[in-house]
Structure 1
Amino acid sequence: MIAPGFAGVEAQLWLLLLAMIRPGAAFIAAPVFGAAAVPVQLRIILSMAIGMAALSSVHFTLPADGLASFAGIALIGGEVVAGLSLGFALQIGYSAAFIAGESIANAMGLGFASMVDPLSGNSTAVVGQFLSIIATFLLLAMDGHLLLIRYIIASYQALPPGGGLMPAAVFQSIAAFGGSMFAMGAVIALPVTFTIILVQLVMAMLARTAPSLNLFSVGMPATLLAGLILLAVGAPVMGEAITQALRSSLDMVQTLSGG
């Protein structure tokens, strides 16, 4: 026989589990929170705290047959899709720095130089790793992680649990915004890549005027040196472009959350 004080424990545990789904899915897809170096236990605690606070602000009842029923599975699927959409929208602007880094590394001749990215656990170009570190600092400096949590909580008002999947227009807007990721990456890399192309054109003209010149022994160090100098000179401009990309992503997250 269950004691009267523990009669509603099972329902509270199901609510606790449900509250963790949307923030947890958003943290998996979002930058910084979804990094491989972030302990899973920390993400679970954050998801629990944010989910319970957000779920208490809306009126919600569990399906009559429980979460193991068809209605419960549809409810969980809607929460997962909503969370992944919010986190992925922020990840798009963050990934623009990786695209810019790959473009700059290939133009400098450092496409073969790679290292393990601690955020994703994958191998990436060293320039892309440098720009991703800048993007992480800028995201934290502009309180992007706090804004993401705020928009996750606000999404419960626009799309409460059990309200169905997001409209098709939302996924179309995410796809259209994802297409702009390559444009944002090109804007970030433009100050460096354009100048490196000019340096390579100069080296090509030198090779035509002096055929005996060993282009590989002169062009590679010159391009690499020019790229390093341009990265140091153009860092403020590239930082502003990365900040604009992150702001666009946060605006997209705010639009998806209905805030």
Structure 2
Amino acid sequence: MIIDIASWWSFLLIFVRITTFMVTAPIFSGRQIPNQYKVTLGIILSLLSVGLVEGPADIEAWSDWTLSVMILKEFLVGLVLGMVASIFFYAVQMAGSLMDLLIGFSMATLYDPSFGTNTQLTGRFKNIVAFLVLFSIDGHHLLIRGILTSFEWVALDAAVPAWLDGRLSTFILECLTQMFMIGFMMAAPIVGTLFIVDVALGIVSRTVPQMNMFTVFPPIKILVHFSVYIFVLPSFFYLLKLLFENMFDSMFSILKLMGA
């Protein structure tokens, strides 16, 4: 079977968008997944999509400059979609970092292969729980469906004026605002409780100066942390539900924004 030049160029444009999304979106962008698997998955999805996505009719007449601009556009579309999805996942890591900062776990850091950075104990635990919940609701399938649906909203030969008029940057700032709000909501019960414990222990240290606070206080804070965490853990799953809803809604909204 002979494939014409137009199909090859369409495959290249599709491959650039899907692969860029794979290396930036949560789950797929994890360092624990070899790059060969990411590229292979991008090739498979591109081959399956090339016959379904409507390619540019006059792509053979495009100049080298036009092809370069379109490849850059596909790269940016995949990057923006993956970045928007990843922004909300950073809320989980931020909440864990705030909690560990007050309890003292920030002195013991772990390497997080999902983000390629060092994260604290609670942040790593929350990341694992978030990934398991996302897998349980088939969130990885929804992410793949999102990038494949993007070709219906942003065609291969379509321009994206939202990059120039400030609408896209404004929307990303709104996503960052939601990320910080959800992250603070996740950490608020533990942070508030530990703040009260710090105040109480500070009063005790002033009234009983003979007490060795560096020996007594850390175990008390750890005990209070885990005791409160058991009771507030169900609320964490509710906030995860809210987080994933905002993540997928934001991906859909940004597709409409770029396709307008």
Spell out, residue by residue over 1:167-203, the C-alpha distance to the aligned partner (whole angstroms, 9 max, x if none).
1413321222112211111001111111111111111
Which residues in structure 2 correspond to 1:82-121 (within 5 Å)? 82-121=77-116
Letter in 2 for 1:158: W
Q: Which of 116, 135, 144 is matched with 2:130 structurally?
A: 135
Matched, 1:31 2:23: no
**Greater alpha carbon shift after TM alignment, 96-105 vs 16-25:** 16-25
Q: Which residue of 2 aligns with 1:40?
A: 35
Greater Cα offset, 168-177 or 139-148: 168-177
Letter in 2 for 1:95: Y
Q: Secondary structure at the match of 2:160?
A: coil
Give 1:255 shift: 1.5
65, 70, 73: which one aligns with 1:78: 73
Distance 1:41 1:106 in 2: 37
Secondary structure at 1:234 match in 2 = helix
- Distance in 1, Cα, partners of 2:138 & 2:19: 19
Distance 1:251 1:141 in 2: 19
- The aligned counterpart of 1:16 is 11
Aligned-partner Cα distance in 2 for 1:70–1:172: 29
Give the equivalent residue in structure 1 for 2:204. 206
The 2-side partners of 1:178 and 1:28 are apart by 20
Q: CA RMSD in A?
A: 2.0
Kindly indicate whether the alpha-carbon contact (under 8 Å) linking 1:148 and 1:253 is maintained by their aligned counterparts in 2: no
Pair 1:123-2:124 in alignment: no
Q: Which amino acid aligns with 1:102?
A: S
User: Structure 2 length normalisation: TM-score?
Assistant: 0.89
Q: TM-score, normalised by structure 1?
A: 0.90
Structure 2: unaligned runs, 5 residues or longer:
none
- What SS does the aligned partner of 1:188 have? helix
Secondary structure, in 3 states, of the residue corresponding to 2:60? coil
Contact 1:151 1:257 in 2 (8 A): no
> Partners in 2 of 1:172 and 1:63 — Cα distance?
33
Unaligned runs of 5+ in 1: none
CA gap of 1:224–1:238, structure 2 versus 1, over 3 A, is same
Superposed displacement of residue 41, structure 1: 2.4
Which residue does 1:239 correspond to in 2? 237
